[in-house]
Chain A
Amino acid sequence: MGSKIGESKKRVEDARLMAGEGTYIDDLQPFGNIHHAAILRSPYSHAKIKNIHIDEALKIKGVIGIVSGKEVAELSRPFPVGVSEPVEYYSLAIDKVRFVGEGVAVVVAKNRYIAEDALDKIKVEYETLDTVVDVEKAMEHDAPILHENLKTNVVNHRFFDYGETDQAFEEADIVISKKFKFPKYSATPVENYGIIADFKASEEQYTVWSNFHGPFTLHSVMTAALKVSGHQLRLQIPKDIGGSYGIKSGSYPYIVLMSIVSRVVGVPVKWIEDRQENLLASSSGTDRVTWIDAAVKNDGTVTGLRMKMADNVGGYIRAPEPANLYRTHSNSTGAYNIKNLQMETIAVMTNKSPTGLIRGYGGPQLYFPLERMMEIIARKLNMDPADLIKKNLIPADSFPYRTASGGIYDSGNYQGALNKALELIDYEEFRKRQKEALKKGKYLGVGLACIVEPSGSNMGYVTIALTPEERAQGLPKSGSAEGATVSIDPKGSINVRISTVPTGQGHETVASQIVSDVLGADDNSIKVYAEMDTATSPWSVASGSYSSRFGPIGSSAVYEAAKKVRNKLLKIAEHQLNVPIKNLSIDDGKVFDKNEPDKSISMKRLIGTAHWNTEALPAGMEAGIHETAFYNIESAKAPNADDTVNGSATHGFVVDAVTVEVDETTGEVNILDYITVHDAGKLLNPKIADGQILGGLAHGFGGAMFEELVYDEKGQLLSGSFMDYLCPTSTEMPKITINHQETPSPLTPLGAKGLGEGNTMSAPAVISNAVNDALRPLDVVINKLPLAPNMIWKQISEKKQKMKEEV
């Protein structure tokens, strides 16, 4: 049987994954002589490396080599960075360490146990230096400097002015100013990073297997570091990756490191990261301080925003940072019709671990202050937050909508989705319940968050980090292309090759649905290959699994490739049946004349013609059936000279409505109901879509409530294991209701947009709003995360103490 686009088809991935037959990186053994690597890491957050003594370690039986910064400096150069300042970031510390956990040396041994034994025998002489971990302190003129050649820790600093912001502030009835702190937290897939690297000296060829999932722009970053051409670094990604949520894009420094290690030691090398390494040194989201001013009219209309945001990118700014500051640049005003916007963006290096992509990239950091502000403004004006939001939402008849900073919101009906959410949470009724509860000393609250969910990032948005003058000196960057190949073999089996590198999102299933639908083919005749190989896969720099690209871009590439195959088969049928193409249709394994259904030819015959009987093909047609399509979004253009840019292909919408009860005596937050209404255009597989939403929500919920990479003043990580870094488990997850509205994107062939990151962006904001709503009678305002009981309890107690003193 064939399946259709839009059905909740069961996943083709499930059977192998539940049989224990998945193929993850640690399951691969491409060579017999693989050796295992372990990494010695810095115990200090900021120190000079005076000397490394490896002799004792080398004496251990089974150890075959040790690599340190010396070899790395010889065989590579610093990774290219996305800013103009010359930050020297290598895959291993060269003469200085800048965060706890930075790699200092690599031991290669017969097995991991022996390699770890040897780590204990390496003696490193350090000279410790002053540490700075706080982003505001790191910007001060007398702060310890991490990279002496720069003379500052501020590594990117830009100003933007869109519309008539100064005028909006002059004409405002009130101006509200707040400061927000967003914490550093991570994405913790249950599978850690894994690399197998092999260097063949005779061909000067690096071949690396890893669970890296792109963006493949980073392939160029890696080849530049290794000083090789593109094909000298062949990347192969196994069929299965044990989750990522963005963080595995940060495995690329290790790809370079293990490549060098394999070269120096002369054997293929396998390195599997452990959990402590993952929390300490892999990558994470940035912590950000945001100062935000809003120009507001008495009726609640927000007429202008000024935002200053400072991102803590850790010890080294590394690609694609400072993109966290700019990923949401073109949707900085969110779901609101605000035409006047000034922004100041700052990336700061401190002695924390380096940052990178994690789910929602930049979105949680943007929407937490923005959506908190909407609640604060409503409170100030004595309005209900729902009314304030309604007042400011982008009208449904104004799509495509151009934002102040250049974003093009392709389609939407934000009012429709908001009304649905208010209905589902029973907003009016809850307000009554809340009043009744308060009389009994119970603190109930309801929060709202409306967020625009960008998907399919434009390759050009990152260059907004540079000034228009700096950009003008280089090649402009634009587009968002993805490739896919559909081929049919002589037996009629359909093979689909994708380069979207899924990490659990079910791309194999959805790709097969699309191909089945387009070709009227049986599901069993289709096989999708998600294994990526830079030597043989159809890919572009934009390929990979990030920015929810599969919905708008990856699926479209599969669709276009399948359509090419369909057209070819129809052309052969036209030739053989002597019926014009426009009258032909495909169904049930046959091509037939719509006017005379008896006039038909089997697909098997048409496919066979292209392989076995090529003289029966129409004149000039190529033999075989093997079509590749590259899909691109035209609206993904390079940034303009006025610093406007459309950062994403498509823009979905999410409304969250959440009710909570806060225990005044303990500070504990109990979520009563979590409603989330989504508009991601046409849903390709609703069940998979809901799965993505739930996962994204769980991640955002974790960030809102529990997860934080906590550092002390010396730069030591205090939450370096799963005993201390708390991820939500099944008992913490609240009851969640998902609802959909489908406003198709006019820009994608199937009308689909991306999804799965929206609630990671919205959850910290909406839960905070609900908690603040609950604590309103106590006059307690909470503008930081995570919403841990001890933090909330402390604020309640302090308020009570203050009130007592005042009395």
Chain B
Amino acid sequence: MQQVKSNEKMTINTKVNDKSYEVDVEPRKLLSDFLREDLGLTGTHVGCEHGVCGACTIMIDGHAIRSCLMFAVQIDGSEVETIEGLQKKELGLELKEAFSKHHALQCGFCTAGILMSAVEFLYEENHPTEKETREMLSGHLCRCTGYEGIVSAIQEVAEKNNEGR
């Protein structure tokens, strides 16, 4: 394991939303803070910093992860995707369309994290039941919507994609 002093920075190489970065970071810097402050990707939001609310969820090497529970140095060598990168993904655009249709967001603060989890979920689950969608979504707090529109939106995209297969 590499050892650094607390006041030293570490160089990490990472790909975020298909862009390559080589950046020096403090070892103690949280990944969520790194994305927002060092890379200017403010679409990732921080809601609790203890891994409950899910707002800071991003994708690391294809898996939905809470960026407030990781250090930036841990993404050295990984590929990261944030809400900003979802603009280019077909599934991301489908989800956004459905979210808007079903009024699945109000203040929008929790939405980025939910979309990231939903993308991973729909890659892995071909035929999710509503119960399974709710189980997945239970890792996120949304205090605006009561979740109903979010569940409907994800279910609709899942069903539409199944028809297409």
Contact = CB atoms under 8 A, between A and B. Distances in A.
Given A15-B100, A691-B149, A727-B141, 8 more contacts: A14-B100, A17-B111, A18-B115, A20-B84, A275-B49, A504-B107, A697-B146, A722-B53
A408 interface: no
Interface string B100-117: 110101111111100100
B137 interface: yes
A240 interface: yes
22 contacts: A10-B100, A18-B83, A18-B99, A20-B82, A20-B112, A113-B29, A187-B143, A242-B108, A242-B109, A243-B106, A274-B49, A504-B108, A691-B103, A691-B144, A691-B145, A694-B146, A698-B146, A721-B48, A729-B147, A730-B133, A730-B138, A733-B146
Contact of A20 (B41, B47, B105): B41
A695 interface: yes
Nearest to A734: B146
A698 B147 contact: yes
B105 A695 contact: no
B69 interface: no
Given A11-B100, A698-B143, A698-B147, A18 B47 contact: no
B45 A191 contact: yes
A155 B24 CA distance: 55
Interface in B56-89: 82-84, 86-87
A730 B108 contact: no
A265 B115 CA distance: 41
A17 B36 CA distance: 16
B144 to A, nearest CB: 5
Contact of A188 (B87, B115, B143): B143
B45 to A, nearest CB: 7
A536 interface: no
Interface stretch (A21-29, A455-463, A575-583): A21-29
Interface string A102-114: 0000000000010
B42 A18 contact: no
A729 B53 CA distance: 10
Contacts of B53: 190, 275, 722
Contacts, number: 164
Interface string B25-41: 01011000000100001
A247 to B, nearest CB: 10
A241 interface: yes
A601 to B, nearest CB: 37
B13 to A, nearest CB: 23
Interface in B101-160: 101, 103, 105-112, 115, 133-135, 137-151
B52 interface: yes
Contacts of B103: 11, 687-688, 690-691
A189 interface: yes
Nearest to B52: A722
Interface string A254-278: 0000000000000000000011000
A229 interface: no
Closest 8 CB pairs of A and B: A20-B43, A242-B109, A504-B107, A17-B108, A694-B146, A504-B106, A722-B52, A698-B146
Interface in A290-309: none
Interface of A: 10-11, 13-15, 17-22, 24, 26-27, 113, 187-192, 240-243, 245, 274-275, 503-506, 687-688, 690-691, 694-695, 697-699, 721-723, 727, 729-731, 733, 736
A733 B141 contact: no
A243 B143 contact: yes
Contact of A243 (B109, B112, B135, B149): B109
B55 interface: yes
B143 A19 contact: no
Nearest to A191: B109
A723 B53 CA distance: 10
Contacts of B133: 730
Contacts of A730: 133-134, 137-138, 140, 147, 150-151
A731 B55 CA distance: 17
B50 interface: yes
B44 interface: yes
Contacts of B52: 721-723
A690 B144 CA distance: 11
A505 B134 CA distance: 24
Contacts of A505: 106
A11 B83 CA distance: 19
